[in-house]
Amino acid sequence: MPRYQSKTGTILSQFWHSSDRISSIHTAFFPHNFPKIYGYYVDSFEEFRNGVQPYCQRPDGTLLLPRRSTGGWRGDPVSSPPFTSTEKFWNAFNSGFRPLLDTEQLGTFILVLANASFDTSLQAELNEIIKQRYHALYQRFEQQLLSGEIPPESDEDLLVFFKIATVGLERIASSKTRTLSNWEIQFNPLRAFRPRRISSAISDAISLPFCNESFHFNKPFMDKEIFWSGELEGRSVDLYYNKYPFTQGHGLLVPERGLENPQLLTESYHHYLCKVATTLDASLPGSGFGYNSYGAYASVNHLHFQMFLRETPFPIEQSQWRHHGGEQPYPATCFCTNRAAEAWQWIEQCHQNGTPYNVLYIGERCYLLPRLRQGSDHPPQWSSGFSWHEMAGGILTSSRAGFEEMTAAAIETLLGEASG
């Protein structure tokens, strides 16, 4: 197992939290002056013992000790990854939502509500408990605000909850999808409630340094949103539920999150994603990963990839397009290859030119879509901007009118305009 150096000079072996494995660790390894973690301190062995996952050394020399997720996949994270079959993945994925509701916390309530609105079977299963949690949260916030107390939840989650309360829980519509010619259109009303974060920022840069003050996946409140953590193809990863999903099996894969990498794709991580996508395609057909570069509607400046597990291919995968040897040009600029080194050359060219881009990793194939920088494009009023999902032909809108009135010609025009 990897080993890391603490600020005190003690060499500590990485391990997974379990009673039998931690029992041999002596309290002398953890002095009172323990390194800073996530902006707070763990200063006792008992606190370390009661819920710490693998740790690593952060770039500033402090130790990162991410806490064990309270919900999600309950199997052993090392020996029981949920990627060995489609059935196992969906059983693990869907079984995690009820435990998240049992935490009675706002962030997990929003996550489960959004995922249930995207999946009718999940919605039917959890509808009553969702209502109970909503009313309990509503009453608590009402009492706290009337008494002058400040709710401890994050401002982002509180704003989303107040939007839900304004509309009314019963009036929030479920997501709907329809096919229009070559394209897939999705009505997803809860997406309108989500925080925009850096996806609304305007910058000429292709990347920015990691910022600890901004939102990132090492925030303590994010731990309960982890679906699965463990080693995947030789690297430590955390797979989060997507709080505002827009595709099946939607998760956020964060490799080596303790290293605090910004949202900038490197050659090493590109080859890693190619390897992961190829491996998972064998056991999870329909799986893949989407990537938004900075300036291409990435919402978080902490390296992550958006996982999906779909029953049907994306429109960009259809055989009639020229990038697959067909005769019809794809409306957006698209390069497609099953050679990882060739794909990296295209990505590196985008970096050198300061060109934002979206990437899809599906099996052995890599799709690269260079595009206009967010802020210089002009998405329609019914869209918050074209990310990797839209560039792949899956058009999202939170507008019912936009969903019903959209045309294939309009979609093709917008895809061409996004490419510049």
The answer on 190 and 157 residing in a single domain is no
Kindly tell me if the per-residue pLDDT of 95 is higher than 80.
yes
- pLDDT for 138: 96
Encode pLDDT of 288-322 as tens digits: 999 999 999 999 999 999 999 999 999 999 999 99
- pLDDT for 12: 32
- CB proximity list for 129: less than 8 A, separation 6 or greater: 98, 101
The answer on 408 and 318 residing in a single domain is yes
| The last residue of a domain, from among 133, 148, 171 | 171
Question: What separation in angstroms does the CA of 119 have from each of 58, 68, 183, 294, 308?
Answer: 38, 27, 20, 30, 14
The answer to the question of residue 69 being in a domain is: no
Among candidate residues 77, 75, 21, the one with its CA nearest the CA of residue 48: 21
Percent of the chain topping pLDDT 70: 80
The answer on 215 and 357 residing in a single domain is yes
Kindly tell me if the per-residue pLDDT of 7 is higher than 80.
no
The answer to the question of residue 132 being in a domain is: yes
- The mean pLDDT value for 327-351 works out to 97
| The last residue of a domain, from among 151, 171, 191 | 171
Question: Could you tell me the pLDDT band of residue 199, with boundaries at 50, 70 and 90?
Answer: low
Orientation of helix 155-167 relative to helix 120-146, angle to 10°:
110
Task: Specify whether the CB–CB gap between 33 and 6 falls below 8 A.
Answer: no
- The mean pLDDT value for 118-145 works out to 94
Kindly tell me if the per-residue pLDDT of 356 is higher than 50.
yes
The answer to the question of residue 75 being in a domain is: no
The answer to the question of residue 79 being in a domain is: no
- pLDDT for 284: 97
Question: What does the alpha-carbon distance between residue 220 and residue 371 come to, in Å, rounded to a whole number?
Answer: 34
| Domain tally, the chain | 3
Encode pLDDT of 264-289 as tens digits: 999 999 999 999 999 999 999 999 99
- pLDDT for 70: 35
CATH of the domain at 222: 3.30.428.70
The answer on 342 and 273 residing in a single domain is yes
The answer to the question of residue 208 being in a domain is: yes
The answer on 213 and 164 residing in a single domain is no
- pLDDT for 205: 84
- The mean pLDDT value for 94-119 works out to 93
The answer on 261 and 164 residing in a single domain is no
CA triple 298-93-221, angle to 5 deg: 55
What is the residue type of 255? P
Boundaries of domain holding 38: 3-64
| The last residue of a domain, from among 149, 171, 193 | 171
The answer on 383 and 407 residing in a single domain is yes
Encode pLDDT of 17-49 as tens digits: 333 332 223 323 333 333 333 332 333 333 333
Question: Could you tell me the pLDDT band of residue 6, with boundaries at 50, 70 and 90?
Answer: very low
The answer to the question of residue 107 being in a domain is: yes
The answer on 360 and 329 residing in a single domain is yes
Question: Could you tell me the pLDDT band of residue 376, with boundaries at 50, 70 and 90?
Answer: confident
The answer on 239 and 217 residing in a single domain is yes
Task: Specify whether the CB–CB gap between 304 and 296 falls below 8 A.
Answer: no
The answer on 386 and 260 residing in a single domain is yes
- pLDDT for 198: 59
Q: Is the pTM of this model over 0.85?
A: no
The answer to the question of residue 265 being in a domain is: yes
Encode pLDDT of 377-393 as tens digits: 888 889 989 999 999 99
Orientation of helix 340-353 relative to helix 267-283, angle to 10°:
140
The answer on 333 and 202 residing in a single domain is yes
The answer to the question of residue 204 being in a domain is: yes
- pLDDT for 16: 30
- pLDDT for 4: 30
- pLDDT for 103: 83
When the pLDDT of each residue in the chain is averaged and rounded to a whole number, the result is 83
